[in-house]
Structure 1
Amino acid sequence: MGAWFIFDMVGFILFDMVGIPGNLVILYAFAHMLMCHRKVTPSEIILSKLALSNLLVILTQGIPVTLKTFRLQNTYNDLVCKITLHIYCVSRAMTICITSLLGCFQCILIVPSPCKWLRLRENLLKNLSSVMISLWCFNLFVCSTHLAYSSSQAAANSSIIKSHTVMYNFCCVVFPSRFLYLGTGTVSVIRDLFFLGIMTLSSCYLLSMFYQHGKQAKHLLGLHTKHAEIQAAKAVVALLIMYLLCFGLDSLFWIYTLCVYPVSLRLIDARMFLDSCYSAISPLVIILTNKKVQTGLKCETRRRPLPSAESISKYIQ
């Protein structure tokens, strides 16, 4: 066994061991709070959707790649590959959409003039479910080609691998034409770059607010409320920066694969590794910085109603 194979095997096994329990813990914590307090806030909806998307990424990618390292990939037939790849691509797309939504939501909350943004904030909170459903439907449509043209590598190896084939570690997508291959890839790249751009703007704005808050804190006292929101925003920025690093590199690799043939298997492994990295590590960031998740994991002897607050700062800090 080579060093690359050992690194690949150990890395994905660790991601499975960390990512699956981590995301399940977040989902359990919010479910526990829902049963105890009979209500769900918008921030909890966003974080629970993010945890669900991360969990699906690990289940549909981390586990198959781990099985391949143990030479068990032949258990995947064409039907299983179609379903697995479709769920993986939709879940991966949802992680970038939800993370971008999280950054925008936090920016609206800490804007210096909340009155000007009050209507936008109210509309976002009112239509949060519609926004989520729209994102799911959009990504289901964009990723529909994986459901139509995916096949197992055993089937692909029996034929000639064409230049319009997208290889994964455990399955592949054989497009009927080069035009459809490039069209699907271009749409995916534009979608990823669009949301990565939103994350970049959100991160820059939040960082500028941190700088301004630091200067104000030297001269003013009694900024407890704003300080709490700033602390919450720092957790969001950590998620945004981590996502930009992981999926920014992944997007560059994806653009490279569209232009080069044949594609190196190590490059495919690197893309899979970067995709799993965020889904496995981000739950740890949320658990360590989110007091609501920590509270939800504790069995409370007394049930006390929580104050109704829409600010995500009370759920990520």
Structure 2
Amino acid sequence: MFSSENVFYFQVGLGVLANMFLLGFYIFIILSHRPKSIDLISCQLTFVHIVMILTGGNIIHIDIFEALNVDNGIKCKATLYTQRVMRGLSICITCLLSVFQAVTISPSNSLLAKFKHKLKKHTINVSLFYIWFFNFSLSSNLIFYVSGFTNVSQTQQMKVTKSCSLLPMNYIIRGMILTMTISRDVFLVGVMLITSTYMVIILFRHQRQCKHLHSIGHLRVSHEKKATQSILLLVVFFVAIYWLDLIISSTSILLWMYNPVILTVQKFVVNAYPTISPLVLISPDKRIINVLKNLQSTCH
């Protein structure tokens, strides 16, 4: 008989292993070959998801910090701050990935075509730097409003884990933080939906054109088509999971309540996207199979 805890740890194990495999592949590509710009984006997204899975289940909090004998308040601040930053990075980098692919597949006569020459490694690296800086700054309030849970004045604290809680904050400050976070997320989700719709239109037009072309021409673009389809699937899945998580987390914050059942459900929801995403990214990338074949031939 499987308990929710066993299922949760299975989800965590699958997510970490899949992301570690994908991260190792991207590191190999970056160090051994000339990586594509999309590889730099996907590599950081994979790293973010590894940390996100570990902090999402408070595994780092339980295993690593316990061994270091660190004060419970510091454990909570570090864990929840990292968790919130990783969540923000996940949505931002996924959005960047969606925008990048939309520009990449845009026809030469489209408005986005003029941005193709700007999609260089330097531009991607600068964008990623600002994304990291923005999310580290936006979530900095948790450093001040998170502490270890105590039995003193329990009505003034909201438990977010078994040993961590949010301290009471001014309604104005809470409203401002919630507004900024939701505004960021709504904007990025909106951009993802727009770019996804654009990519669907491009794929639909390409499919109609392929009916009048030879099979050779179709095979030449099939790899880019598969990559686009995988990113579309990634975005759609992310948006669905995001809104579900937003409803759960916002309800908890606004009602200032703690419910173990809601927390358990939220853990599964939070880890769903980073667990599935590496499987989606691996499936259309034939380079992974080629790299594994080369490693196998080298070993023999």
TM-score interval, normalised by the smaller of the two chains? 0.7 to 0.9
Alignment of 1:77 with 2:77, yes or no, is: no
Task: In structure 2, give the amino acid aligned to 1:195.
Answer: L
CA distance in 1 between counterparts of 2:203 and 2:162 reads 41
Q: TM-score, normalised by structure 2?
A: 0.86
Residue in 2 that maps onto 1:6: 3
How big is the alpha-carbon RMSD for the aligned residues of Structure 1 and Structure 2?
A: 2.8
Cα 1:223–1:185 shift into 2, 3 Å: same
49-58 or 256-265: which moved more?
A: 256-265
Q: What is the SS of the residue equivalent to 1:172?
A: strand
Residues 272/251 of structure 1: CA separation in 2 closer, same or farther (3 Å cut): same
Counterpart position of 1:315: none
Q: Measure, in 1, the Cα distance between the counterparts of 2:23 and 2:242.
A: 23
Query: Equivalent residue for 1:159?
Result: 153
Figure out how many residues of one structure are paired with residues of the other and give that number. Answer: 290
| 1:32-71 mapped onto 2 (5 Å cutoff) | 32-37=28-33, 39-64=34-59
Does the residue aligned with 1:144 lie in a helix, a strand or coil? coil
- Once the 2 structures are TM-superposed, how far is the Cα of residue 244 of structure 1 from its aligned partner? 1.0
Alpha-carbon displacement from aligned partner over 1:61-96 (angstroms, at most 9, x marks no partner): 22439959xxxxx98711111111111111111111
Equivalent in the alignment of 2:178: 185
Q: 2:127 aligns with which of 120, 131, 140?
A: 131
The answer on whether the counterparts of 2:196 and 2:235 sit within 8 Å (CA) in structure 1 is: yes
Please give the alpha-carbon distance, in whole angstroms, between the structure 1 residues aligned to 2:136 and 2:161.
19
Q: Which has the higher contact order (CA 8 A, sep 6+)?
A: 1
Counterpart of 1:144 in structure 2 is 140
Structure-2 change in CA distance of 1:196 and 1:166 (3 Å): farther
The offset of 1:194, in angstroms, is 1.4
| Cα separation, 2, equivalents of 1:225 and 1:237 | 20
Q: CA separation of 1:63/1:263 partners in 2, compared to 1, >3 Å: closer, same or farther?
A: closer
State the 1:138 CA deviation. Answer: 0.5
Give the Cα–Cα distance (whole angstroms) in 2 for the partners of residues 225 and 114 of structure 1: 20
Structure 2 gaps, min length 5:
64-68
2:66 matched to which residue of 1?
none
User: Matched residues in 2 for 1:15 and 1:33: separation?
Assistant: 27
Query: What secondary structure sits across from 1:161 in the alignment?
Result: helix
Q: Given the superposition, is the C-alpha separation of residues 56 and 192 from structure 1 closer, same or farther in structure 2, using an over 3 Å criterion?
A: same
Stretch moving more, 108-117 or 133-142 = 108-117
Counterpart position of 2:27: 31
Counterpart-to-counterpart distance in 2, 1:24 and 1:174: 35
Q: Deviations over 1:155-189 (max 9, x none)?
A: 3x4322337x4724652222432222222122111
SS of residue matched to 1:127: helix
Aligned-pair distance for 1:197? Answer: 1.3
Unaligned runs of 5+ in 1: 69-73, 303-317
User: Separation in 2 of the partners of 1:19 and 1:158?
Assistant: 38
Q: Is the 8 A contact 1:175 1:181 kept in 2?
A: no
Displaced runs of 4 or more, over 6 A = none
Normalised to the residue count of structure 1, the TM-score between the two structures is 0.81
Cα distance in 2 for partners of 1:6, 1:67 equals: 19
1:94 maps to: 89
Report if the CA contact (8 A) 1:169-1:268 is conserved. no
The range that moved more, 232-241 or 185-194, is 185-194
Please name the residue that 1:106 is paired with: 101
| AA of the residue aligned to 2:147 | S
Identity %: 25
Change (3 A) 1:271 1:170: farther
